[in-house]
Amino acid sequence: MANSYPVGFYFKLSFKGEDAAFHEVSGLSKELSVEEVTCGGENRFKYRLPTVVTGQNLVLKRALILDKSELADWCASTMDDGLVTAIQTHDVSVSLLDQDGYVSRMWTFYNAYPVKYAVSDLKAQESEIVIESLELAYTYFEITEDTSISNLFD
């Protein structure tokens, strides 16, 4: 069992049925917020009551893609239209794969839309790959642990 721990470098991202390659995905977190309430006459402590679950934005990083990409087009149209048209939300999923390419865990982000696009600094003195970063807001996410979801090599 000790050798069956998942590795963080073998994953894929799916958007509208298209698999998109990214070198880094972050923001896979949920947090239950609490409200502190003081009770009259009780000075030793405050009650900490749960309120709402919040999550960070999903941040995707990859080498700058020069070819046409549905994901990049969606980000550009959402951010460049200046809210003239309604924002089109889409579900985005991140799948952690096992050594055979099967999904071992999947995070599905519902009603996602782009809120930030950035490109790494361009420096004449360095020979680094240009990285583009996409940041997506979403309503909520669910975790699926079904290993029969799909196989990367099908």
Residue pLDDT, tens place only, 18-68? 777 888 899 999 999 999 998 888 788 899 999 999 889 999 998 888 888
> What residues contact residue 45 under an 8 Å CB cut-off, 6+ apart?
none
Q: What is the dihedral of CA 26, 78, 152, 67, to 10 degrees?
A: -110
Total domain count, the chain: 1
Q: What is the pTM of this model?
A: 0.79
Q: Is position 90 within any domain?
A: yes
Question: So what's the pLDDT on residue 29?
Answer: 92
CB 13 within 8 A of CB 20: yes
Strands of 21-82, DSSP E: 24-26, 30-37, 47-55, 58-63
Of 36-40, 87-91, 113-117, minimum mean pLDDT range:
36-40
Residue 57, classified by CB atoms within 10 Å of its CB into exposed (0-12), middle (13-18) or buried (19+), is middle
Residue 152 in domain: no
H/E segment holding residue 117:
strand 103-119
42 within some domain: yes
* Max CA distance (Å), the chain: 66
Domain containing residue 33: CATH number? 2.30.110
- The answer for residues whose C-beta is within 8 angstroms of residue 30's C-beta and 6 or more apart is 53, 54, 55, 141
Domain that holds residue 29: 2-144
Report if residue 124 sits inside a domain: yes
